[in-house]
Amino acid sequence: MSTIDHNKETHEVSRVFTSNAQQTTTVADGETIIELNDVTIRFNKNNLKVDNLKEYFIRLVTKQLMFQEFIALRNINLQIKKGEAWGFVGTNGAGKSTLLKVVSRILKPSMGSVKVSGTVAALIELGAGIDPQLTARENIFLNGTLLGYSKEFIESKFDEIVEFSELQEFLDSPVKNFSSGMKTRLAFSIATAVEPDILIADEILAVGDLKFRKKCNAKMDEMLKGGTTLLYVSHNIASVKKQCSKAMWLDHGNIIMVGDSAKVCDAFQKEMESPVPIILGGARDGGPVDPDTVMEPVINTLADAEIIADAAKKAAAEAEKKAASAKKTAAAAAKKAEAAKKAAEEAEKKAEEMAEAENHDKVEAGAETESGKADASAESNPAEEKTETANVDNKAVNVDNEAEKPQE
């Protein structure tokens, strides 16, 4: 039976997950863990306002109930190996979240096939699986159950979840009173209580504070080192570059580019900053673009040329403005440096004066000490002279007494 190792504790999969889907046999490192073949997702977009069943059935019977087909994903082919970190970039509505929902088994593709092996922990929508009326303590068990964790496993990891979320003081408070960041802490802590084979994070860390984001990134790095596969969606391009080694750029359900995360993110960022389309302007042949291809803005009409020229003028004006600002900043910095230099010279001069004054005081103190010693020595000399005179007189008396003694 397969096992999951987490924090040096080994748990049997059947005791961790209650869902049969989550008990899928894990794959070895380097083998394909996610495989999508020609995956297409279609939705029916209804532009009619039908707000009651009577009108709905009337339109249905009279064949007036019309839907417009909306394709969220079109012919997506992707293979992800165990242990890889993939980032997905694109504008809003590009199909990033839809793709992750397909991998999470939330959505079933209209066409194509999806094969996912191993356990999945999905953080797709903020607050998904969290009941605002329940307390944080109750939601740990509820959300853990929805993720497929067994009650026994949740109880064994309860203290660890609470410690990581840093919500000790709010365990018995309703989640409806929590901020978005607090909900994110709770959801991320529950989802990462066990190291899954696949971790899916869809912009969920965008609302967290800087300290907790660093903590979550460190946790994800630790999980990646342990062999977890990461699927990461974020509008923070720098975060995608740092966290992922590979990336996919989606636009209106189509794959635009797949490859090294730095190259894909740079191409996407260049496209977004360009005044006219580059890759999305018809330069590609309909399939994914090679990340190593150097592409420039497409100029098809006079209007495109005028837009590019206008953008170039604006960029030049902005550059001149920045240069002037930098020049002013440099001048101000030079002025501050000169003032600091003068202040340092004055401080050094004052320090020298204080040192000279201190030496002068020491010299005067030494002279006064020597003078005091001399005076004390002079005062003690008369007493010594008196003592010597007395000694001489005593000796003279002794001599006289010896002379007066009768001789035998």
Nearest to 251 by CA among 227, 286, 215: 286
Write out the residue range of the structural domain in which residue 319 sits: 306-408
Which of 252, 283, 314 delimits the end of a domain? 283
Which of 235, 252, 283 delimits the end of a domain? 283
Per-residue confidence (pLDDT) for residue 20, from 0 to 100:
44
pLDDT at 157 over 80: yes
DSSP readout, 230-281?
A: EEEE-S-HHHHHHH-SEEEEEETTEEEEEEEHHHHHHHHHHHHHSSS-SIII
398, 340: one domain: yes
Nearest to 175 by CA among 159, 192, 160, 187: 187
Per-residue confidence (pLDDT) for residue 408, from 0 to 100:
41
Say which range, 28-37, 41-50, 199-208, has the weakest mean pLDDT: 199-208
pLDDT at 86 over 90: yes
Which has more confidence, 13 or 144?
A: 144
d(CA 4, CA 10): 6
Which has more confidence, 232 or 17?
A: 232
Residue 189 lies in a domain: yes
pLDDT tens, position by position, 373-400: 666 665 555 555 555 555 555 555 555 5
346, 267: one domain: no
- State the CB neighbour count (10 A cutoff) for residue 134: 16
Per-residue confidence (pLDDT) for residue 79, from 0 to 100:
93
Residue 126 lies in a domain: yes
Q: Indicate the pLDDT class of residue 183, thresholds 50, 70 and 90.
A: confident
Q: Which helix (H) or strand (E) holds 290?
A: none
In degrees and rounded to multiples of 5, residue 184 shows phi and psi of -65, -45
Which has more confidence, 128 or 137?
A: 137
Radius of gyration (C-alpha) of the chain in whole angstroms: 43
275, 310: one domain: no
Per-residue confidence (pLDDT) for residue 211, from 0 to 100:
81
d(CA 315, CA 322): 10
Domain count of the fold of the chain: 2
279, 384: one domain: no
Which has more confidence, 399 or 275?
A: 275
197 neighbors 118 (Cβ within 8 angstroms): yes
pLDDT at 19 over 80: no
Residue 50 lies in a domain: no
110, 202: one domain: yes
pLDDT at 223 over 80: yes
Nearest to 174 by CA among 215, 131, 216, 145: 131
Residue 226: both structure tokens together: 């342990």
Per-residue confidence (pLDDT) for residue 196, from 0 to 100:
82
139, 256: one domain: yes
pLDDT at 21 over 50: no
Say which range, 143-152, 156-165, 225-234, 309-318, has the weakest mean pLDDT: 309-318
pLDDT tens, position by position, 252-267: 889 988 999 999 999 8
Residue 48: both structure tokens together: 């009619």
| Residue 36, SS3 per DSSP | strand
* Stretch 350-357: mean pLDDT: 85
pLDDT at 88 over 90: yes
* Stretch 67-82: mean pLDDT: 88
232, 318: one domain: no
pLDDT at 94 over 60: yes
